[in-house]
Amino acid sequence: MAGKFELYTDKSGEYRFRLKAGNGEVIALSSEGYASKASALNGIESIRRNAESEVVEVA
């Protein structure tokens, strides 16, 4: 099963998302807070677009 983004509202009413693996384990912690659902969905889409970037090792 593929991973999925989970969109939710936090205690202060902001929208946030996290990425979960197919087994339900959180693999990317909570995003920044967004005032609108549309902004949070744009954040998710940005990650999807940029996820194919190369890996760079920082020493």
Look up the domain containing 44 and give its range. 4-50
**Does the residue 42 lie in any domain?**
yes
Q: What's the CA gap between 22 and 12, in Å, rounded? A: 28
CB atoms within 10 A of CB 40: 22
Query: Average of pLDDT values for 26-40?
Result: 92
56 in a domain, yes or no?
no
> Partners of 8 in the beta sheet?
16
26 has a pLDDT exceeding 70: yes
Residue type, 1: M
CB atoms within 10 A of CB 41: 15
55 domain residue, yes or no: no
Residue 35 lies in a domain: yes
Mean pLDDT on 38-52: 90
CATH number reported for the structural domain that contains residue 15 in this entry: 3.30.160.160
Average pLDDT for the chain:
90
For residue 1, pLDDT over 80 is answered with: no
Q: pLDDT class for 11, splitting at 50, 70, 90?
A: very high
Tell me whether residue 57 is in a domain. no
| Domain tally, the chain | 1
8, 16 contact by CB (below 8 A): yes
pLDDT at 22 over 80: yes
